[in-house]
Structure 1
Amino acid sequence: MLRTLLHKTLLTAIAILLGGWAVVAQQNVVKGTALSFKVDDNPTVDYRWVIYNVDAGTTANLTSNTHISEEYTFNIAGNFEVRVYPVDRISRCLGEPLTLPVTVNGDPPTITFDDLSTPYVCSANNGVNPRAEISCTVNYKGPLPWTFKYSVDREPAVLPPGADEIWTSSFDFVVTIRNESGLKSRSEIMIVEAKSLSGLEVVENIDAHRVEIDVLGLPDTKFTDYEPSVMAGTLYSYKANILRHDPDITPSSPASSKRYEILVPDGATVLNESTRLLADELHSELSFDIQWGEELGPKQIKLIEKNAFNCYGDTIYANINVIETFMVDLGADKNVCKGDEITLTPSIDMEGNFKYLWSTGETTESIQVSTAGTYTLTVTETNLNKTSVASVKVNLLDLPVVDLGDDYELADGEVKTLDAGAEGTYLWSNGETTKTIDVDRSGLYFVTVTGVNGCQATDEINITSVNDVFAIELGDDIVACVNDAVVLNPNPSITQNYKFKWSTGEETQTISVNESKTYSVVVTDDAGNVKRDEVTVVFNALPIVDLGADRNIYEDESLTLDAGNAGTGATYLWSTGETTQTIEITNAGIYSVTVTNSNGCSNTDEVKVIENKGQKFTVDLGDEIEICEGDSAFIEPTIDRDIDPTYKWIPGEATDKGIYVDKKGKYCVEVSDAFGNKETACVDVLINPSPKVDLGIDRSLEVGETAVLDAGNDGIAYLWSTNETTSTIEVSTTGEYSVIVTNSKGCNGSDAVNIQSKGRRFLPSGFSPNGDGNNDVLKVKGADIKNVTFIIYNRGGRKIFQSNRVDIGWDGTYKGELQRMDTYVYFLKVTLDDNSTEIQRGEVTLLN
């Protein structure tokens, strides 16, 4: 594969650049590589091919005189030039050569994993689990700089931080693996895409490229039952699922034998812990009660679980609100008009198992009432046997009395006064708003009266006249489809002059309507005779037909076109002649369908189907991603087919397969195949803030003196370098103390502080092992020293030096190789001649 790729690269480069007789970029190959070369064919010239060894000054002439050379094997490492001279076929004059520099490396690059000293690791969790970090070392031989990516269990490759351009032959990185199975699993870490930046691929040796490590399962702890609101001073039960737990281990057993820890607020007490093996025989149900104290407000229960290897799982939380008692509220007093009814429903400020008893004797949560009175509700929480009572008064309001009297016939020239009667506000059918109106012509008159208490009543009267001489008729009520044209016409029985007044405000004899409602018309002749009629028009909706946007169909693919469910009795007619709701198509074209519903209303839609080359593929970026402030996430699309994709990321216009993101926003990738088909996927990235931690400045202690270290950030999980999990710790020995604070989103903040003895200092703050005879070795110095234990760790936590003798110090090397300039962590225990002991922890700087 290596030879083929380089061969293609060289031929392409020369073929492109010969036309301009330009010099191409230097190429890198390895010893033993056989290559041939090609330039554009010019029928007027022959070609002379030469391989020149720049280091040795020797020349190898190739026998080929065509635009394609024979194959040449580079058996010696060094610098070469491939030269091709154009030779004029008539004059035999030699032209200027095109030169291609070639660098031949002695051996292909190799890469190997260093042995991992840890037989197993914990699974990564949402807090801090130092035992989940796998410190890896990769050793490399080949041209510098180089780079690589690694894959865990054949997942997409990941570039370790700082590995984009490596200038050392050894590189350290840390891997964390999440295992939520609850069981131990074996994971494989494999080096992939390793190469020098000059383009040389690493020689394939799978065994040297991979390591396997046992990853212990992450306990999948979860609360299954609890009340979010509780009453102060009461006992509540809680349940959670944990890993299989020996039921013989009780709360009185040693803490080291329990695999879980329940943390409750001050004033609360955990009681009645018990476990029950579940049917899968892998998990247990943990049951416990909490006796809550009298302090009110929001509280939090934390449950932390560890497996048999002391690997801690995710810390889970139950947020609880402690209240004095539950409250029932029926709201303010309510008014209801006679003839109406109102629904009474309580609001309760906590969840629970409630029973209801109304003063009416009803036991439902809500009741309907239509009579005046005071209604009382007694609510009982059955688990706690506590009650709460609420009342509400319902007032019944009188309706205004409205009576326009019996229907009435006007005599010739008579005017009649209509009186709405009751006090309030008025609205007559003719638009007037006075208590009384005068009428002198026939018609249907009605009035709505709103009383001073807001209740309404209506009455109507039909006025006729001895002079009525014509009739009108709007016909029966009309049912139509929304796209139908409906014209209303009162059709006066006598041909003469009329004035028309419709309820829509129009004054023409006919009107066109398109809205479902009741329409009325008042028709008046020249003599003042009035007729009124009304008709109800109902427009039935058209069936919703949406074949969607134009579609693309791919090779060997079929599409389903769906006209939608138009309900019982609907019929379908496609342009293909088919009469089903859906049809399958395999060809491009324009397809249409007409759908008729049970009301006889029809609607039509069409869709254009366009033929695409290639096959349909989909792109997925997964669910929403949450990362912590200062972290980054690698996002890479999943494509469901094997295509030759190109990528375009938005924002940023990157064209890599995957990208690292560290900012909040929506990230989208457009994937195109070789036929120009495009699919897009997006994912939202959220940034969660990390806790701010400040342990203060370094400090010194007198012998016997203690110091309190406070991580702050109340209500968040803590893990100190001492393995304590409280927000504050008290220390009395020297050394470096650190804390990692985890918030509810799993984001970490950390800080460290050095506690030093006010006694002697046994180590300098740095040294320079450069062979100049000055401070080359880091040694313990001081008088009256009896014994020492002196250990050095690198940033990855690996122990790289240990000495138990004062005269033997660290020369800055590990496994025979000088370590890079950096800050290293030390542990020093000194026993003096008087048998007193001093322990110091801190950092020392190695300077090259």
Structure 2
Amino acid sequence: MLRTLLHKTLLTAMAILLGGWAVVAQQYVVKGTTLNFKVDEVTGYEYHWSVTHTTSGAVAYLTSKTFESGDYVFDNEGDYQVKVYPEDLGTHCFGDPLTTMVIVDGAAPTAEFDDLEVPYVCSANNGGDANGKVSLTVNYTGPKPWTFKISVDRAPAVMPVGAEELYTNTFEFELEIPNTSGKRHRAEILLVEAKTLSGIGVTEDLANQTLEVDVMALPNTVFGDYEPVIQAGTFQSYTASIEKNENYKLFIPDGASVLNEKTKKLSDKYHSELSFDVQWGNTPGDYQIKLIERTAFDCAGDTIYADVTVVESFVVSLGGDISICQGESATLSPTIDFDGTYTYLWSDGSNGSSLSVTETGTYSVTATDSGTGKSSSSTANVTVLTAPIVDLGADYELADAETKVLDAGNPGLSYSWSTGEIGQTISVNTSNTYSVDVTNENGCVGTDEIIISSTSDVFAINLGEDKDICDGEELILNPNPSISQKYAYLWSNGAGTSTLAVTKSGTYSVTVRDAAGNEKSDEIEVIVHALPIVDLGDDITLFDGETTTLDAGNPGAAYDWSTLETTQKITVSEENVYSVQVTDVSGCKGAGDVSVFTRQFTVDLGADPAPICMGEIIDDLTPTIKGTISADISYAWKTPVGEDLNESISVNVGGEYCVSVTDKNSGITETDCVFITVNPSPVVDLGEDRILQVGDEIELDAENEGSNYKWDGPINSIKPNSISQKVTVDQIGEYSVLVTSEIGCVASDTLTISSGSQYFVDFPSAFSPNEDGKNDELKLVGDIDMIDNTKKMSLIIYNRLGHKVFNVDRNIPWDGRFKGRKLDMDVYVYFLNVTFKDGSSMVKQGNVTLLY
């Protein structure tokens, strides 16, 4: 009894090893799977293993005597029992066996989606709308337990809730798919990483393991501007942009109510504006207005919020206590935290919107809201501080060689003289206007000035040292006379102003004359330096792993890059806008920037093609792809005539042509566009065929004024020339014109002018002078007796080299010979001119073929 209990204890855990992975005792596998079983090892015991195929009754005894069975291959379908008996090597007694079941299927597992009942779903939104969930069903056959993941639009795979360990053949779950594109999106759902928990993969079947569902776009619902803080008991206006179907729901906090709710269509025909007023209650606090919009497909959008804080009343503030110096004034202007119409009552009884004060005191204002009747008050203390009293005395005239001491008084304070000195007193011995600012401990300033003059002084001027400036800067030249008095100025450019603004290089001089006729002159050289030219080149596109070097040029200058680098050249690899400021040795600055884009690949249709004419075709508009892209790509064209999925398209209609190239492996899409201009071709219409009466002329007009013209017709029949818009013809025959417009587009037309005579003659198109009695001669044919009605005629025939081979002035047939020799079989050109007895005539030219 003791041994039995012991053995049961030893065998309470049997594990199955598959690829080193220990799993639960019962196992589902497919035919051909190798398993290894084990139990807890106890010293002094031997283990006896057997595998029974319960379907056929066959038993296999394994050779292992250890706690681990060793590998066993399950070659047949059906149910198996794996047993292990422990043997005590001391007593050779056997304990009770431990049994585990193995169920073997004949084929690899399969998993596939059920078809969707509804091929579209609303986008996921923050409101958890039920219409934003698509119901999916996965059907499975094979060993259990199993699991799987899904990937939406090739995003990282995720496991649905509850799919961690499945023992059923069918699993249903719901999925939310976001769509922030603003348009309907075709989402691809892939069933991936499906397998048994023991690691047996599901047979790949993309056709049945892929679903496509149209994900509707969220409505782009947006609140307009609104006041986030309002007074209790007031009403506020709100707007929101919604879609044109105007299917929405407002949620207003308790204690508030909606007034004047209405919508109106916007000019883009796709959106409406919702406007409404909210009458707020009298309870202060933080509130939210919520708005949910539904599309025409009953898809809810994200709930949007307008956060509003309701306060008891407005607050008026004078900004706190202030101090001013004696002689100054302060303007008290109340600020109110709400827009509105207010009246004011000041402590002095005035009712203006501000109050100017000059005396020490406490000032208050009460503001009243004209709309609500509510009031709010504020107080400010104003202190007037004393300022130093400064007196430099009366203006003073110096005696010869006299020095005068100027005293600002107020010992121990701070002094600032116009001479730059900072002591209480200064000594002066030249004519000038001297001033001083004295500042006390309150920061108040007293000031005074005095004019010191001398009859013996002659003023001095100084334009300063020569100057260097940069292109675009302006330098003000000032001679700075040393004595304040009236002067006349004459600059080298003829100007008579006291100062001169210059922007160009040159030497500038000035002569200054006082009222007594004393003159002083000075000159200065100004050099204008060009700004450094900084050209970082065109915008740059970098592909994966690439870098580029940006060069600011201007060697020897100082550089300040947006990256904080300070060298002439920098190397970059990230997408950004890079800028640099370059300062040259003259201190002049130039700047430049360049945009760097990073792409896995780019799509380039090139520059806009040269314009084509109506009727012409660009046969092969093809994008050039640069960068790293897989072989699995797709093309999507958007053109004025519709969409196309080919790599190349033919173009004969004007407008914008855009191609989007998608790398299906990475999901990256790049787009480029070109604009095709199709110029109109001229419209040429010479009218219906015409009849030329004897002695008449006919004017032909190709219209399309300003174009180039090339007429063709019977020899010497076109007047005044063959390049005019209008021509006059006086012979029968075929006339054509080729019109080339000012923009190079071409069109043509042809008409035939025939004789007004009742008679008509013609030539056959071929003859065969082979003496067989049929068509042996080329002669006139017609519907009347040629001899009776032909007054005179002329027939000339040329070979293709332009040599005349036949020429008669009467109705004599041609036998195909020239100077008695038979001519070669070929095409010949004839010119026929016939005058009939009634005075009418006809001219005809054409080709005739000589055959044998």
Q: TM-score, normalised by structure 1?
A: 0.37
Larger Rg: 2
Q: TM-score, normalised by structure 2?
A: 0.37
